């Protein structure tokens, strides 16, 4: 395997070795990747055309070198004992010696950015690499797919942990997941704690008026209303002959005293407390609740952020011990209408920063690093949500129980199973239709079956399956046999299995089953050239036996739309082709 990257600094050297995988012809390999290095280090990369190593500058455009589902050997050597390597999440240590380290890293179905950090007494060097897809064009199809998923459900593409990350920007929407919130907090905590401490040292104060009972002859600040009220009542005072009235012995004097219990400080205290509670909640999390996530990787992720959270907690506890907060009542974090948030520089900036933290993230920018769901899962989500969009052209969506936020607001996922469905009503006829994500067909005589997307027509005994597979085959033998790149043969065989294996318990015979309930099953796979695919063997087989495959990407939805239109025209005669 070739040496792909070599970097060196004072007292250390880093090498990354791995193969360059064969890519489909429709994936561009033009110089559109960059390695960004911060710190004092030099590096060189493999020139894929000459096969030789070539010195590079940070940010130079090169052809992609790193891809999903490829194993890489990481070799780190040091002559400086203080030099330490921090590899990306998911790296497995194979050998650790005083002067060298060997790690194995496979990004799996993760694409995006990843970092290597080398820390010495002189400072830290960071290398930012970019991991590309092997099955879809990363710069077009993948980005469009991620944007469409995020456009339908803003934070659905974000993950609690990942071997790579994407870059996002703060969004104005409220109620972010804790994963978004932590990503924002990490990027802005230094400013947050600095502002919080500055306010604690010099808090805004107000004047509080109190009525104090004093001897009448000593009173200085008495309103006319107080005097009038005192004279109208029996006050037990001595009568003044010249006036013919009795002055009270004591009267309420209006006294103003400074106070920190102001609406602005109550809001400040509530924001700091809310941030602290979120930290405490996140530090106790060991899993996101996403059943598609890798449990071991998630636990490592939450374990890795816990020290940072504990450090932040201690700093906030110091802020909350500020003496002036003892005078401030607890309140909800509701922003009061106050000119202080416009004129006072500290309160104004703190308010804006907290509103940013309590917003969310959008992939429409490149500021905040955030983990993303694996590409295969993102593809499943996109296929489901795109089919929803195709169905909504002809049906009214009446209710859904698919989108779920877990109890601690860690992530947003699509829930699975028969009880989690999108229910549609056909506009002309009023007949129902369901789209179920990851329905489990159990209680079968043989083995449970769990296809990705099941369209259930008006009857409980009519189904059509669209199974999303983030896989494509394009070797020469396959192309010669089937007529071009297409779905894996084993995935097409799985469609046969679904149709044969899925049965419904018979409503009248307790031990009987209704067979033939699956009208057809199709593999959805990433391929952009729909016109070329019309001559593919697995496209023609759909018309012959209702088993085959269809390409499905953001810019390649025509064939799937045609198929759904044909199905609906047959099941709901008054429906129209999309």
Whether 461 and 537 share a structural domain: yes
The whole-angstrom separation of Cα 396 and Cα 15 is 56
Domain boundary among 343, 371, 399: 371
Q: What are the residues whose beta carbons fall under 8 Å from the beta carbon of 541, sequence distance 6 or more?
A: 492, 547, 548
> Residue 383, SS3?
helix
Identify whether residues 431 and 565 lie together within a single domain: yes
Residue environment code for 32-53, b if the CB has 16+ CB neighbours within 10 A, otherwise e = ebebebebebebebbebeeeeb
Residue 263 has pLDDT above 80, yes or no: yes
The pLDDT of residue 511 is above 90: no
Would you state the pLDDT for residue 553?
A: 95
Residue 182 domain boundaries: 178-201+265-371
Average pLDDT over residues 504-516: 69
With beta carbons less than 8 A apart as the criterion, state whether 44 and 55 touch. yes
Strand partners, 449: 441
**Among candidate residues 318, 345, 371, the one where a domain is terminated:** 371
Hey, is 36 helix, strand or coil? strand
pLDDT at residue 420 greater than cutoff 80: no
Residues 323 and 195 in one domain: yes
Residue 224 maps to a domain: no
Mean pLDDT of 306-323: 91
What percentage of the chain reaches a pLDDT higher than 90?
41
- Has residue 226 been placed in a domain? no
Q: How many domains does the chain have?
A: 3
Residue 67 lies in a domain: yes
Ranked by mean pLDDT, which of 32-46, 165-179, 281-295 comes out on top? Answer: 32-46
pLDDT confidence of residue 86:
94
* Residue 449 pLDDT exceeds 70: yes
At a CB cut-off of 8 Å and minimum separation 6, what does 305 contact?
A: 182, 282
Cα angle 154, 160, 161; round to 5: 125
How high is the pLDDT of residue 36?
95
Given a cut of 80, whether residue 413 has pLDDT beyond it is no
pLDDT category of residue 298 using cuts at 50, 70 and 90: confident
Q: Which residue has the higher pLDDT, 111 or 222?
A: 111
Q: Do 361 and 420 have their domain in common?
A: no
CA 67 – CA 253 distance, rounded (Å) = 79
Which residue bears the tokens 């934070």? 155
∠ CA 572-573-574, rounded to 5°: 95
Tell me how far CA of residue 159 lies from CA of 177, 404, 469, in angstroms: 10, 14, 20
Output the pLDDT for position 392: 82
The pLDDT value given to residue 512: 66
Asked if residue 160 belongs to a domain, the reply is no
The values of phi and psi at residue 2, to 5°, are -80, 155
In this predicted model, which residue has the larger pLDDT, 258 or 220?
258
Q: Flag whether 159 is in a domain.
A: no
Pair (357, 391) in one structural domain: no
Pick 162 or 232 by higher pLDDT: 162
Is there a single domain that holds both residue 462 and residue 364? no
pLDDT at 453 over 70: yes
Least confident of 80-84, 122-126, 381-385, 502-506: 502-506
- Same domain flag for 354 and 407: no
Regarding whether 398 and 341 lie in a shared domain, the answer is no
Note the helical H segments in 215-363.
224-232, 263-283, 295-320, 340-343, 345-357
- Distance (Å, whole) CA 358 – CA 272: 12
Helix, strand or coil, per DSSP, at residue 531: helix
Predicted local distance difference test score (pLDDT) of residue 407:
44
The backbone region for 490, taken as left when phi is positive above 0, alpha when psi lies in -120 to 50, beta otherwise, is: alpha
In whole angstroms, give the CA distance from residue 260 to residue 282.
Answer: 31
Q: Is the pLDDT of residue 411 over 70?
A: no
Average pLDDT over the chain reads: 84
pLDDT at 161: 65
Per-residue model confidence (pLDDT) at position 576: 47
Report the range of poorest mean pLDDT among 41-55, 153-167, 458-472, 532-546: 153-167
**Mean pLDDT confidence for 568-578:** 67
Does a structural domain hold residue 161? no
Q: Which of the residue ranges 7-16, 59-68, 461-470 would you say has the lowest mean pLDDT?
A: 461-470
The answer to the question of residue 210 being in a domain is: no
What ranges make up the beta strands (E) of 347-415? 360-362, 368-371, 395-400, 403-405, 412-414
Least confident range of 35-49, 232-246, 331-345, 406-420 = 232-246
Which of 154-168, 193-207, 254-268 reaches the highest mean pLDDT? 193-207
Residue finishing a domain among 371, 391, 406: 371
pLDDT category at 575 given cuts 50, 70, 90 is: very low
CA separation, residue 65 to residues 26, 32, 214 (Å): 17, 11, 84
Q: CA nearest 523: which of 455, 571, 578, 452?
A: 452
pLDDT at 275 over 90: no
Q: Residue 449: left if φ>0, alpha if ψ -120 to 50, beta else—which one?
A: beta
Asked if 540 and 427 sit in the same domain, the reply is: yes
> Taking Cα atoms as reference points, which of 561, 545, 542 lies closest to residue 553?
561
Yes or no: say if 377 and 368 are a contact pair by the CB < 8 Å rule: no
Residues 412 and 540 in one domain: yes
Task: Give strand ranges (E) for 461-503.
Answer: 463-468
Min mean pLDDT across 6-15, 54-63, 437-446, 532-541 is at: 437-446
**Overall average pLDDT of the 204-214 stretch:** 72
**Same domain for 190 and 271?**
yes
C-alpha to C-alpha distances, 363 to 133, 149, 188, 218, 492, nearest whole angstrom: 18, 11, 18, 68, 34
- pTM attached to this predicted model: 0.79
Contact indicator for 171, 361 with CB cutoff of 8 Å: yes
- Is a pLDDT exceeding 60 seen at residue 577? no
- My answer on whether 505 and 556 are in the same domain is yes
- Using the CB atoms, write b or e for 145-157: b if 16+ within 10 Å: bbbbbbebebbbb
- 293 part of a folded domain: yes
Distance CA 420, CA 426 (A): 19
């Amino acid at each position: 395997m070739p040496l792909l990257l070599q970097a060196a600094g004072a007292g250390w050297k880093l090498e990354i070795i791995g193969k360059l995988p064969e890519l489909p012809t429709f994936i561009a390999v033009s110089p559109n990747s960059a390695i960004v290095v911060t710190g004092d280090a030099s590096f060189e990369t493999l020139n894929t055309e000459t096969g030789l190593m070539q010195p590079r500058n940070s940010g130079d455009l090169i052809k992609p070198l790193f891809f999903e589902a490829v194993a890489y050997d990481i070799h780190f050597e040091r002559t400086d004992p203080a030099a330490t390597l921090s590899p990306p999440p998911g790296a497995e240590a194979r050998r650790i010696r005083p002067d060298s380290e060997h790690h194995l890293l496979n990004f799996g179905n993760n694409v995006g950015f990843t970092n290597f950090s080398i820390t010495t007494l002189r400072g830290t060097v960071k290398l930012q690499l970019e991991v590309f897809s092997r099955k879809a064009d990363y710069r077009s199809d993948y980005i469009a797919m991620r944007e469409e998923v995020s456009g339908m459900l803003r934070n659905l593409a974000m993950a609690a942990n990942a071997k790579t990350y994407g870059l996002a920007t703060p969004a104005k929407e409220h109620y972010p997941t804790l994963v978004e919130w932590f990503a924002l907090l990490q990027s802005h905590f230094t400013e947050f704690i600095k502002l919080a401490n500055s306010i604690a040292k010099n808090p805004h104060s107000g004047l509080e008026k109190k009525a104090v009972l004093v001897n009448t002859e000593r009173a200085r600040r008495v309103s006319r209303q107080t005097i009038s009220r005192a004279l109208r009542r029996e006050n037990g005072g001595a009568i003044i002959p010249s006036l013919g009235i009795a002055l009270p012995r004591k009267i309420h004097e209006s006294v103003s005293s400074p106070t920190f219990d102001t609406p602005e400080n109550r809001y400040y205290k509530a924001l700091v407390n809310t941030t602290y509670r979120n930290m405490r909640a996140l530090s106790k999390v060991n899993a996101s609740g996403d059943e598609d996530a890798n449990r071991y990787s998630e636990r490592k992720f939450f374990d890795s952020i816990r020290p940072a959270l504990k450090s932040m907690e201690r700093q906030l506890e110091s802020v909350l011990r500020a003496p002036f907060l003892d005078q401030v009542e607890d309140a909800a974090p509701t922003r009061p209408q106050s000119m202080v948030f416009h004129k006072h520089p500290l309160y104004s900036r703190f308010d804006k920063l907290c509103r940013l933290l309590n917003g969310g993230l959008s992939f429409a920018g490149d500021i905040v690093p955030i983990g993303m769901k694996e590409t295969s899962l993102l593809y499943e989500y996109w296929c489901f949500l795109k089919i929803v969009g195709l169905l909504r052209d002809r049906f009214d969506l009446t209710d859904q129980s698919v989108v779920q936020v877990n109890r601690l607001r860690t992530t947003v996922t699509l829930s699975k199973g028969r009880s989690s469905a999108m229910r549609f009503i056909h506009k002309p006829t009023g007949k129902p239709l369901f789209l179920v994500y990851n329905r489990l067909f159990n209680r079968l005589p043989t083995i449970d079956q769990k296809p990705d997307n099941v369209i259930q027509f008006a009857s409980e005994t009519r189904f059509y399956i669209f199974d999303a597979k983030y896989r494509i085959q394009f070797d020469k033998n396959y192309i010669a046999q089937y007529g071009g790149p297409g779905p894996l043969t084993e995935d097409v065989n799985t469609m046969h299995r679904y149709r044969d294996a899925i049965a419904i318990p018979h409503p009248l015979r307790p031990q009987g089953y209704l067979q033939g309930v699956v009208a057809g099953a199709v593999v959805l796979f990433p391929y952009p050239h729909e016109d070329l695919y019309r001559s593919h063997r697995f496209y023609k087989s759909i018309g012959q036996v209702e088993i085959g495959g269809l390409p499905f990407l953001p810019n390649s939805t025509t064939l799937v739309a045609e198929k759904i239109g044909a199905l609906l025209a047959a099941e709901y005669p008054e429906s129209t082709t999309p």
